[in-house]
Amino acid sequence: MQRWRGIGVRKRRIAAPSPLLSRKDVVRGLRILLLGRPRLELDGQPLTRLIALKHQALVYYLAVKGGPVPRAELATLLWETLDEAAARANLRVALTRLRRWLPELLDIDAHQVGFAPGAPLAIDLCELHAALDPSMPHDARVAAARAWRGPLLDGMTLDDADGFERWLAATRQRALRDVVALRHALAAHARGAGRSDEALAHLRALLEIDDADEPAHMALMELLGAAGQRTAALAQYEACRAALAERLGARPSAACYGLYVQIHADAPALVAPDMPRHDVPPVRVPAAAPTPAAPPVAAGGEEPATEPEALIGRDVELAQVGERLADAQCRWLTLVGPGGVGKSRLARAAADRFGTSFRHGALWLSAREPGGPLRDATALAQHVFEQTGADRDGPGALLLVLDNLDALPRGRELVQALQARVPGISVLATSRRRLGGSREWLLELPGLSLAPDAQGRPGSSAAAALFAQAARRLDPGFDLQEQAADVDRLCQLVGGLPLALGHAARVRQRIGLAAVIERLRAGELLADAGPHDAEQHHRSLRVVLDESWAALDERARAAALRLACLPGGFDIALAAAVGAAPHEVDTLREHSWLSRDDAGLLALHPLQQDYLRRQPQSMACRAAVGDALVRHTLAALPPIAPFGPWPGERAAAERIAAQPAFGSSELLGALEHLLAGDETDTLAAWVDGVAALLIAAGRAAEAAALLARAAVGRADLPVWRTGGWRLRQGETVNALGDGEGARRIFESALDGMGVSPLPPEPGHAQGLLKSAWRLATRRGWPALPVERQALRRLLLRCLMFLGQQHTFAPQTLASVRTLAVTPALNLAPRSQAVKAAIRLSNAYGAALFGFPGVARSMSRGQMPRPRLRDDPHLDAFIDHTHAALQVALGQWEGVQPRIEATLAAFERLGDHRHEMEAHSLLGKLLFYQGQLPASAARFRLCRERGLQLPAGAYRSFGPFGLAEVGMCLDHVSLAELRELADTGGHWITEMENMDNAYTLRRLGLLARLAWRADDVTQAREAVLAGIAAAGRFRRCGFWAHEGYAGIGEGLLLLRRHEREVGGPLPPLDRAWATLQRALEGHARRFPPARAMWYRLQGQALLEQGRPTAARQYLARAVREAELRGMPVELARSCDALAPLESTASCNERARRVWAEVRRA
pLDDT of residue 296: 45
Whole-angstrom distance, CA of residue 986 vs CA of residue 1002: 11
- Torsion (CA) 861, 863, 864, 866 in degrees, nearest 10: 100
pLDDT in tens, 414-448: 777 777 788 888 889 998 888 866 678 989 888 88
Pairing verdict, β 39-42 and 45-46: antiparallel
What is 549-614's CATH number? 1.10.10
pLDDT of residue 24: 35
For 349, the enclosing helix (H) or strand (E) is helix 343-354
Count of residues in the chain = 1160
Mean pLDDT of 774-797: 85
pLDDT of residue 595: 84
Encoded amino acid at 710, one letter: A
Residue 890 · residue 1122 · CB < 8 Å: no
- Inform me whether the pLDDT recorded for 898 exceeds 60: yes
Mean pLDDT score across all residues of the chain: 84
Confidence of residue 895 (pLDDT cuts 50, 70, 90): very high
pTM here is 0.74
The backbone torsions φ and ψ at residue 70, rounded to the nearest 5 degrees and listed phi first, read -60, 145
The backbone torsions φ and ψ at residue 402, rounded to the nearest 5 degrees and listed phi first, read -110, 100
pLDDT of residue 12: 34
Percent of the chain at pLDDT > 90 equals: 39
Helix (H, G, I), strand (E, B) or coil at 738: coil
Contacts of 849 (CB under 8 A, 6+ apart): 7, 9, 807, 812, 1035, 1085
- Inform me whether the pLDDT recorded for 1132 exceeds 90: yes
Lowest mean pLDDT among 376-390, 492-506, 574-588, 734-748: 376-390
Contacts of 96 (CB under 8 A, 6+ apart): none
pLDDT in tens, 596-606: 876 778 888 88
CA pseudo-torsion sign 80, 84, 86, 89: positive
Confidence of residue 281 (pLDDT cuts 50, 70, 90): very low
Strands (E), 199-301: 298-299
Q: Please give the radius of gyration of the chain, using alpha carbons only, rounded to the nearest integer.
A: 35
- Highest-pLDDT range among 290-299, 469-478, 519-528, 597-606: 469-478
Residue 242 · residue 248 · CB < 8 Å: no
Mean pLDDT of 1005-1034: 90
- Inform me whether the pLDDT recorded for 1027 exceeds 70: yes
> How many CB atoms lie under 10 A from the CB of residue 280?
9
Whole-angstrom distance, CA of residue 245 vs CA of residue 86: 49
- Inform me whether the pLDDT recorded for 842 exceeds 60: yes
Residue 437 · residue 427 · CB < 8 Å: no
Tell the burial category of 6 from Cβ atoms under 10 Å away from its Cβ (0-12, 13-18, 19+).
Answer: exposed
C-alpha triplet 779, 782, 784: angle, nearest 5°: 130
pLDDT of residue 425: 87
Whole-angstrom distance, CA of residue 823 vs CA of residue 805: 18
Pairing verdict, β 441-444 and 332-336: parallel
Whole-angstrom distance, CA of residue 609 vs CA of residue 560: 9
Confidence of residue 297 (pLDDT cuts 50, 70, 90): low
Confidence of residue 339 (pLDDT cuts 50, 70, 90): confident
Confidence of residue 410 (pLDDT cuts 50, 70, 90): confident
Whole-angstrom distance, CA of residue 92 vs CA of residue 524: 53
pLDDT of residue 810: 60
Whole-angstrom distance, CA of residue 1063 vs CA of residue 1086: 35
pLDDT in tens, 240-263: 888 887 777 677 887 888 788 788
Lowest mean pLDDT among 267-276, 537-546, 933-942: 267-276
- Inform me whether the pLDDT recorded for 1012 exceeds 80: yes
Whole-angstrom distance, CA of residue 499 vs CA of residue 511: 18
Helix (H, G, I), strand (E, B) or coil at 94: helix
Please, what is the end-to-end C-alpha distance for the chain in angstroms?
35
Pairing verdict, β 398-403 and 425-431: parallel
Helix (H, G, I), strand (E, B) or coil at 406: helix
pLDDT in tens, 91-140: 999 999 998 888 889 999 888 999 999 888 999 999 999 999 999 999 99
Whole-angstrom distance, CA of residue 925 vs CA of residue 895: 9
- Inform me whether the pLDDT recorded for 676 exceeds 80: yes
Do 549-614 and 298-444 have the same topology in CATH?
A: no
* Residue range 298-444 in CATH 3.40.50.300: yes
- Torsion (CA) 567, 572, 574, 579 in degrees, nearest 10: 100
pLDDT in tens, 608-630: 888 898 888 888 888 999 999 99
Tell the burial category of 808 from Cβ atoms under 10 Å away from its Cβ (0-12, 13-18, 19+).
Answer: buried
- Inform me whether the pLDDT recorded for 705 exceeds 80: yes
Q: Tell me the domain boundaries of the chain.
A: 34-168, 210-248+252-272, 298-444, 462-533, 549-614, 725-735+743-824, 831-910
pLDDT of residue 298: 54
Whole-angstrom distance, CA of residue 665 vs CA of residue 643: 23
pLDDT of residue 759: 55
Encoded amino acid at 605, one letter: H
Residue 722 · residue 729 · CB < 8 Å: no
The backbone torsions φ and ψ at residue 200, rounded to the nearest 5 degrees and listed phi first, read -60, -40
Whole-angstrom distance, CA of residue 992 vs CA of residue 974: 24
Mean pLDDT of 55-73: 92
pLDDT of residue 1090: 95
Whole-angstrom distance, CA of residue 613 vs CA of residue 611: 6
pLDDT of residue 829: 61
Lowest mean pLDDT among 172-181, 358-367, 533-542: 533-542
pLDDT of residue 764: 44
Q: Cα–Cα distances in Å, from 1145 out to 260, 1138, 1142, 1151, 1152?
A: 67, 8, 9, 10, 10
pLDDT of residue 865: 74
Whole-angstrom distance, CA of residue 350 vs CA of residue 446: 17
Confidence of residue 366 (pLDDT cuts 50, 70, 90): confident
- Inform me whether the pLDDT recorded for 1110 exceeds 90: yes
